[in-house]
Amino acid sequence: MKITRRSVALGGVSVLAAAAASRAALAEGPFGGAFLGVEEGLEDFWLATDAYIYGYPLVTMEMTRRVLTNVASPAGTKAPMGQIIKMREYPDSSFRDVTAPNADTLYTTSFFDVGKEPWVLSIPDMKDRYFLMPMLDGWTNVFQVPGKRTTGTNAQTYAITGPGWTGTLPAGVKQYKSPSNIVWLLGRIYCTGTSEDYAAVHKLQDEFKLVPLSAYGKPYTPPPGKVDPSIDMKTAVREQVNRMDAVEFFTLLAELMKTNPPSAADAPYLAKYAGIGLVPGQAFDASKLKADFVKRIPVVGYDRIMLQFKVNRAMKHENGWSYTTKTGIYGTEFLMRGLVTAIGLGANRPQDALYPVSKTDADGKKYSGANKYVMRFPKGHLPPVEGFWSLTMYDPQMFFVSNPLNRYSVSPRQDLKANPDGSTDLYIQHESPGKDKESNWLPAPAGDFVLMLRMYWPSETDPSILDGSWKIPAAKKV
């Protein structure tokens, strides 16, 4: 049996769900010991795919880090380790470094390594502007998130320390302890996208400072980055990860686990993964992995991750929209962690943002640019948020779609026009709905597409988004 991503596509993998529920039964059942091309050792095969799912976020974070830091000096969406990337405008349809980018905030981000010493982040007075500075560990958990919701908009300074660091910090510097050496500061600053607001945000970005603790309070010039010509800077990170075979994947994962230690809660799972040669702190022992597993494990592991979009109990499905409130902190929910990594790397905690995704219209049919759709919010039913909300257009690979307006999302900043009855219609289609309706138009590609509704800082006085009582309107085909 030849295994391809098509042969285990989401539409035909109900057998995978059964397999996950009763693997031993499959090994002895009507498949005669063979499943997905595995003739024997089915339990070891499933164990290896479990380990693949477990490690998928850490490997993806590392590959993302390599691409985003493989430059000599900050430029566009990239900067060397320990230097801040200051996105000066929204990403466009050519952006492929991170899946599901947004066109509502200017990313202010950095990768840095706290293994040798802490790094100090200084945030300026943000003048009441909405912002958040989530800090992700190597496993994609948001371990701290200073920002308007949590710490206010006054000037503030933090020292991010490594897993084993002990020491004394300068006065006025608050400690944030990272569980891993890799830290991704994935800051977002709200911007309306006008030239005036761009300039205002640029000024704030330039006042951010990130320095090693040893240089804090002293003049500091960051060293130039070292460019590694062997790093693929053209292929999307997700594709680079997905095309690794199991030996390559587990070899890198084992190396990363030496400096990004697993959580204590992971110990029971790691004890099992030792059976396929994956042991924290040690190099991967490829001799314990059957040769005929090597190509199949990544394929089945990734498809099990993507299957969660449909079958995971933490996913809510209504009106063609799917979302979860289990983002940012995952514990031992490895499948959900893998899913968020695959479709929206860098997701926030639910108190900061929710990201409902829709692949089908009100009738359950796949979106197509050949059709026209309307998403109607009744009067008083726009998303109850204290930050902002937007509706974003993606292609099936979760990247922006090129269009004549260079508009990748639609939100109140487009001065949405309400209907006479107070309701608000969003027009989702390939061609313009007409000049009088273009403020409410989200341009679609000619082919298939995916929608994402971003809701930043769900209202604390109206908890209806987080408790599920606020319902997202379906996008209806005209």
Model confidence at 329, pLDDT cuts 50, 70, 90, reads: very high
- Note the pLDDT of residue 309: 87
Same domain, 166 and 87: yes
Same domain, 139 and 99: yes
Residue 92 belongs to domain with CATH number: 2.60.40.1610
pLDDT in tens, 243-297: 999 999 999 999 999 999 999 999 999 999 999 999 999 999 999 999 889 999 9
Q: What CA dihedral angle connects 388, 392, 398 and 403, to 10 degrees?
A: -140
Rounded mean pLDDT, 17-35: 38
Choosing from 311, 336, 366, the residue where a domain stops is 311
Choosing from 262, 293, 311, the residue where a domain stops is 311
| Residues 169 and 374: beta-carbon distance below 8 Å | no
Choosing from 261, 284, 311, the residue where a domain stops is 311
Same domain, 90 and 140: yes
In a domain, 220, yes or no: no
Same domain, 377 and 405: yes
Give the pair of three-digit tokens for residue 93: 């349809």
The residue among 445, 406, 405 whose CA lies nearest residue 428 is 445
Place of tokens 């992700």: 136
Same domain, 363 and 390: yes
| pTM for this prediction | 0.87
Beta strand segments in 38-170, E: 85-86, 105-113, 119-123, 131-132, 135-137, 142-144, 156-161
Q: How far apart are CA 370 and CA 428, in angstroms?
A: 11
| Residues 57 and 139: beta-carbon distance below 8 Å | yes
Residue 431 belongs to domain with CATH number: 2.60.120.600
Same domain, 278 and 362: no
In a domain, 4, yes or no: no
In a domain, 136, yes or no: yes
Q: What is the DSSP string of 167-203?
A: ----TT-EEEE-SSSEEEEEEEEE---SHHHHHHHHH
As for how many domains the chain has, the answer is: 3
Rounded mean pLDDT, 158-175: 96
Asked if residue 30 has pLDDT above 50, the reply is no
Mapping DSSP to helix (H, G, I), strand (E, B) and coil, where does residue 46 land? helix
Model confidence at 96, pLDDT cuts 50, 70, 90, reads: confident
Same domain, 208 and 285: no
pLDDT in tens, 133-149: 999 999 999 999 999 99
- Domain extent, residue 47, equals 10-62+238-311
Residue 223: left if φ>0, alpha if ψ -120 to 50, beta else—which one? beta
Same domain, 300 and 367: no
| Residues 118 and 165: beta-carbon distance below 8 Å | yes
Same domain, 466 and 341: yes
Task: Report how far apart, in Å, the C-alpha atoms of 21 and of each of 15, 56, 169, 205, 316 are.
Answer: 10, 21, 50, 49, 20
Residue 36 belongs to domain with CATH number: 1.10.3360.10
Rounded mean pLDDT, 391-399: 94
- Note the pLDDT of residue 99: 76
In a domain, 330, yes or no: yes
Same domain, 90 and 127: yes
Same domain, 271 and 201: no
Cβ atoms within 10 Å, residue 33? 13
Same domain, 17 and 54: yes
